[in-house]
């Protein structure tokens, strides 16, 4: 595979990861980006490079608004749940960023406005009247994922901004055919409205040269982007009809498209790091520091075309390299959350007691970074048992146990030229592989050194040699312990937590995570006290793997049943992988227990709410739901109003009929389990004690009476 090597070894390096979308839980597919990036950063630091590592949550866009509305919480509440989730998950996996912010942070709002205003001033942004999907029933414009229809290119079902089921092409507003509103399910129509466009077409020649001659990273990213440029670039609509997001300058009814402010987050997070570290963000974004983006292959277009064009137009530094990973399969099946072919990092892996380093090793060592990676529980078992246990773990444990039992310290000895030569060779191979983003090759070289150590130990038979010549045996063990030291340094980027145990057992006082590669050639000091070693890796037994495979099988069966319409209840979100209602309920419970008060609002905001007294005339369960009731309420209108309320766990239908309740009458209609709800019945929710009580007036009053 064609690789472009870094141009310099002295410049500071900024490494970023594609932002996780704060709309669902972490799965193994996510980690294909973050773990290799962390390995790369750790390796650069071991070479003595000046490295900054930043990331953050992508918090804007229509999917977040849609799911927040379905869950009846604010977008901010939703993203806070998942921002915290990703932050904690990354740390559990040993992925530590120098800054991990959100695209809703003030720094990102300010930096986005700066860049957009620069583009406007330089004539790269212009207004244009276009056709936007509009729902007459909901009386609103429908950006992006509020509308679905047919892709104009391949005919497959597509979202408003992307053909996610078919050809994968980006879709501009107005391109989608046969549009349907995802809110009410009714047909949408196109209406004209003024929006703003970025002159991407002006950058065609620049991008052709940049991609061909300047951009480093992996060839799959460059070649994919070059294909798009050769086809001809069209200008991008960069505004949307939403309230949640970064406001477009001078237009409070519009926000910038999420693919404008999301990558600008890289700059904002660098600013956050700089403020904390007392350093300069400009050394990366205004000067000649290197910028390396690790991304999933599905967002190559945005990072190799739209993003560098935007940066160039606003006079910022452009990326030095884009490293795009291959896709992920689960048990040789195409990754699909809807079909159940998914492995969740928390509930499927960490919660079952699997060590994070085993997964880090699997992701790094399975295949080349740009190739498709298959996750299989059986293959995980095989790699752990035959590589980590039988090779690396075996050498480290047998060496250190023998040394501890027979010497208690590093015995006297000299580093043999053959040992030094093998370490030098391994270091050279590992550093070259890391520079080419070939993490499997780096791990294979490191494991070959462990195999060399096993051969050296076995061939010298120290268990016999010690009986004949303890000093000669000490020399052999000295070299084995030095190999263990070198292996600890070389494996640290891949399995940092586990290998640190070996480092400490060797009596090394320096912080392994800041120690440099060259120290692998500094002879281990004789007389250093050794600790009693632990077994670092244990075999994954068949029963444990069968248990995980059964869990995976049941998930696929459940997904198939859901697809066939045999499920009891619709998931509360249109986004696969969205946190369950339990996740959100726990977050709400925590907030309630803290007694948090929401921000103050103006009276005019309250006055927008049409809250009325209603009388329940009918209540019945909603099919396929344990929680929902369909109710008809008299609120003083010609006909009763149909509502869907999550009251089934707290009230029987008979208890509700005849009750006077409080109704929010002008809430936007929503479909729950296929039943349209034209408002909301208000209730008090004691999250801590799981008590819900419908709000009722303390005396009978005419239905339709307004709450003021």
Query: At residue 677, does pLDDT exceed 70?
Result: yes
Where does a domain end: 296, 312, 330? 330
88 shares its domain with 139: no
Query: At residue 589, does pLDDT exceed 60?
Result: no
Where does a domain end: 278, 303, 330? 330
Percent of the chain clearing pLDDT 90 (strictly above): 74
What is the Cα–Cα distance from 559 to 564, expressed in whole angstroms?
Answer: 9
Closest Cα partner for 269 from 45, 30, 97, 33?
97
Window from 32-41, 45-54, 116-125, 574-583 with minimum mean pLDDT: 574-583
Query: At residue 171, does pLDDT exceed 90?
Result: no
Query: At residue 592, does pLDDT exceed 60?
Result: no
What is the Cα–Cα distance from 704 to 693, expressed in whole angstroms?
Answer: 21
What is the Cα–Cα distance from 53 to 12, expressed in whole angstroms?
Answer: 11
* 385 within some domain: yes
Element (H, E) at 82: helix 75-92
- Tell me the three state secondary structure of residue 193: strand
289 shares its domain with 320: yes
Where does a domain end: 248, 282, 303? 248
Q: What pLDDT score was predicted for residue 156? A: 86
* 406 within some domain: yes
Query: At residue 567, does pLDDT exceed 60?
Result: no
Q: What pLDDT score was predicted for residue 686? A: 73
Q: What pLDDT score was predicted for residue 676? A: 87
Q: Could you tell me the CA-to-CA distances from 223 to 16, 255, 436 in Å, in that order?
A: 21, 32, 16
* CATH, residue 144: 2.170.220.10
Task: With beta carbons less than 8 A apart as the criterion, state whether 360 and 39 touch.
Answer: yes
* 55 within some domain: yes
Counting Cβ atoms within 10 Å, is residue 385 exposed (0-12), middle (13-18) or buried (19+)?
Answer: middle
Q: What is the distance, to the nearest Å, from the Cα of residue 152 to the centroid of all Cα atoms in its chain?
A: 30
Residues 6+ apart with CB under 8 A from 206: 309, 312
241 shares its domain with 325: no
Task: With beta carbons less than 8 A apart as the criterion, state whether 226 and 264 touch.
Answer: no
Q: In the numeric block, which tokens belong to residue 542? A: 């068949």
Angle CA(321)–CA(323)–CA(329) in degrees, nearest 5? 170
Query: At residue 566, does pLDDT exceed 60?
Result: no
What residues form DSSP beta bridges with 159? 148
Write out pLDDT tens, residues 187-207. Answer: 999 999 999 999 999 999 999
* Annotated binding residue 167: yes
Q: How many domains does the chain have?
A: 4
* 267 within some domain: yes
**pLDDT tier, 122 (very low <50, low <70, confident <90, very high otherwise):** very high
Query: At residue 1, does pLDDT exceed 50?
Result: no
Write out pLDDT tens, residues 45-99. Answer: 999 999 999 999 999 998 898 888 888 889 999 999 999 999 999 999 999 999 9
Query: At residue 6, does pLDDT exceed 60?
Result: no
Window from 407-416, 445-454, 531-540, 665-674 with minimum mean pLDDT: 665-674
* 198 within some domain: yes
384 shares its domain with 507: yes
* Annotated binding residue 135: no
Q: What pLDDT score was predicted for residue 3? A: 42
Q: Average pLDDT of the chain? A: 91
Element (H, E) at 403: helix 394-406
Q: What pLDDT score was predicted for residue 573? A: 36
Q: What pLDDT score was predicted for residue 9? A: 60
DSSP string, 327-385: PEEETTEE-BTTTTB--BIIIIIGGGT--HHHHHHHHHHSS-TTS-EEE-HHHHHHHII
- Find the mean pLDDT for residues 615-619: 94
* CATH, residue 97: 3.40.50.620
* Annotated binding residue 151: yes
DSSP string, 530-586: -PPP--------HHHHHHHHHHHHHHHHHHHHHHTT--SS--S-SSTTPPPHHHHHH
* Annotated binding residue 55: no
Residues 6+ apart with CB under 8 A from 626: 568, 569, 648, 649
Write out pLDDT tens, residues 507-534. Answer: 999 999 999 999 999 999 999 999 999 9
- Find the mean pLDDT for residues 292-309: 96
Closest Cα partner for 693 from 656, 644, 664?
656
Q: What pLDDT score was predicted for residue 628? A: 85
Q: Which residue has the higher pLDDT, 157 or 486?
A: 486
Task: With beta carbons less than 8 A apart as the criterion, state whether 149 and 344 touch.
Answer: no
- Per the structure, the complete domain to which residue 178 belongs is given by 114-248
- Tell me the three state secondary structure of residue 160: coil
* 670 within some domain: yes
- Find the mean pLDDT for residues 228-238: 95
Phi first, then psi: give them for residue 684, nearest 5 degrees. Answer: -95, 140
Please report the sign of the dihedral spanned by the C-alpha atoms of residue 476, residue 478, residue 481, residue 487.
Answer: negative
Q: What pLDDT score was predicted for residue 563? A: 65
- Tell me the three state secondary structure of residue 234: coil
Q: What pLDDT score was predicted for residue 141? A: 86
pTM of the model as a whole: 0.80
Q: Which 3-state string (H, E, C) describes 647-702?
A: CCCCCCHHHHCCCEEEEECCCCCEEECCEEECCEECEEEEHHHCEEEECCCCCCCC
Write out pLDDT tens, residues 438-480. Answer: 999 999 999 999 999 999 999 999 999 999 999 999 999 999 9
* 704 within some domain: no
617 shares its domain with 670: yes
Window from 6-20, 320-334, 572-586 with minimum mean pLDDT: 572-586
* CATH, residue 461: 1.10.730.10
* 196 within some domain: yes
Residues 6+ apart with CB under 8 A from 601: none
274 shares its domain with 302: yes
Write out pLDDT tens, residues 651-667. Answer: 999 999 999 999 999 98
**pLDDT tier, 169 (very low <50, low <70, confident <90, very high otherwise):** confident
Residues 6+ apart with CB under 8 A from 313: 118, 119, 122, 124, 198, 199, 202, 203
Q: What pLDDT score was predicted for residue 646? A: 85
What residues form DSSP beta bridges with 131? 192
516 shares its domain with 411: yes
Query: At residue 622, does pLDDT exceed 80?
Result: yes
379 shares its domain with 427: yes
* Annotated binding residue 480: no
- Tell me the three state secondary structure of residue 241: coil
What residues form DSSP beta bridges with 328? 373
Q: In the numeric block, which tokens belong to residue 297? A: 């292959």
184 shares its domain with 270: no
Q: What is the distance, to the nearest Å, from the Cα of residue 9 to the centroid of all Cα atoms in its chain?
A: 29
Q: What pLDDT score was predicted for residue 689? A: 65
Q: What pLDDT score was predicted for residue 457? A: 98
Helices 356-365 and 496-505: angle between axes, nearest 10 degrees: 110
Over its C-alpha atoms, the chain yields an Rg (Å, rounded) of 30
């Amino acid at each position: 595979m064609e690789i472009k090597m870094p141009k310099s070894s002295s410049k500071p390096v900024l490494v970023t990861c594609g932002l996780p979308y704060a709309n669902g839980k972490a799965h193994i597919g996510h980690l294909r980006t973050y773990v290799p990036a962390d390995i790369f950063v750790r390796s650069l630091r071991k070479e003595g490079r000046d490295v900054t590592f930043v990331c953050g949550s992508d918090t804007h866009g229509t999917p977040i608004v849609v799911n927040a509305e379905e869950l009846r919480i604010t977008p901010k509440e939703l993203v806070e749940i998942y921002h915290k989730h990703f932050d904690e998950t990354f740390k559990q996996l040993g992925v530590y960023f120098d800054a991990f912010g959100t695209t809703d942070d003030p720094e990102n709002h300010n930096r986005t406005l700066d860049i957009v205003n620069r583009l406007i001033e330089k004539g790269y942004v212009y207004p244009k009247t276009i056709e936007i999907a509009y729902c007459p029933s909901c009386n609103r414009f429908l950006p992006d994922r509020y509308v679905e229809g047919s892709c104009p290119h391949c005919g497959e079902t597509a979202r408003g901004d992307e053909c996610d089921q078919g050809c994968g092409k980006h879709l501009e507003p107005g391109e989608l055919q046969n549009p349907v509103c995802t809110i009410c399910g009714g047909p949408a129509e196109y209406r004209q409205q003024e929006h703003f466009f970025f002159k991407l077409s002006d950058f065609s020649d620049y991008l052709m040269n940049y991609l061909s001659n300047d951009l480093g990273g992996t060839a799959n990213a460059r070649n994919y982007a070059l294909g798009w440029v050769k086809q001809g670039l069209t200008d991008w609509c960069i505004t949307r009809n939403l309230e949640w997001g970064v406001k477009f300058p001078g237009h409070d009814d519009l926000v910038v498209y999420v693919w404008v402010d999301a990558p600008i987050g890289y700059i904002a997070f660098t600013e956050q790091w700089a403020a904390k570290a007392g350093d300069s963000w400009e050394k990366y974004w205004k000067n000649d520091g290197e910028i390396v983006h690790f991304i999933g292959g599905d967002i190559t277009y945005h990072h190799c075309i739209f993003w560098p064009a935007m940066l160039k137009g606003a006079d910022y530094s452009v990326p030095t390299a884009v490293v795009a990973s291959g896709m992920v399969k689960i048990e040789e099946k195409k990754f699909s959350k809807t079909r159940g072919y998914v492995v969740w990092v928390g509930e499927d892996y960490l919660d079952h007691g699997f060590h994070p380093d085993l997964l880090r090793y699997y992701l790094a060592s399975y295949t080349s970074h740009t190739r498709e990676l298959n996750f299989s529980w059986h293959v995980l078992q095989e790699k752990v048992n035959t590589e980590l246990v039988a090779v690396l773990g075996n050498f480290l444990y047998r060496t250190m146990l023998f040394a501890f039992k027979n010497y208690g310290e590093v015995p006297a000895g000299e580093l043999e030229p053959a040992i030094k030569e093998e370490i030098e060779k391994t270091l050279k191979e590992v550093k070259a592989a890391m520079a080419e983003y070939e993490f499997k090759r780096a791990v294979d070289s490191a494991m070959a050194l462990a195999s060399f150590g096993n051969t050296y130990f076995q061939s010298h038979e120290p268990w016999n040699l010690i009986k004949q010549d303890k000093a000669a045996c000490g020399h052999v063990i000295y070299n084995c312990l030095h190999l263990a030291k070198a292996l600890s340094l070389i494996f640290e980027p891949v399995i940092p937590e586990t290998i640190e145990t070996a480092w400490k057992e060797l009596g090394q006082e320096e912080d392994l995570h800041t120690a440099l590669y060259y120290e692998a050639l500094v002879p281990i000091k004789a007389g250093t006290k050794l600790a009693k070693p632990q077994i670092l890796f244990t075999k994954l037994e068949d029963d444990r793997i069968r248990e995980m495979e059964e869990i995976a099988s049941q998930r696929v069966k459940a997904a198939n049943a859901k697809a066939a319409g045999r499920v009891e209840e619709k998931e509360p979100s249109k986004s696969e992988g969205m946190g369950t209602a339990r996740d959100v309920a726990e977050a709400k419970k925590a907030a309630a227990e803290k007694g948090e008060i929401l921000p103050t609002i103006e009276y005019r905001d309250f006055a927008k709410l049409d809250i009325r007294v209603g009388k329940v005339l009918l209540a019945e369960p909603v099919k396929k739901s344990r929680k929902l009731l369909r109710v008809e309420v008299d609120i003083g209108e010609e006909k009763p109003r149909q509502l869907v309320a999550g009251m089934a766990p707290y009230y029987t239908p008979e208890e509700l009929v005849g009750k006077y309740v409080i109704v929010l009458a002008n809430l936007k209609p929503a479909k729950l389990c296929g039943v349209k709800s034209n408002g909301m019945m208000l209730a008090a929710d004691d999250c801590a004690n799981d008590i819900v009580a419908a709000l009722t007036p303390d005396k009978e009053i005419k239905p339709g009476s307004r709450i003021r």
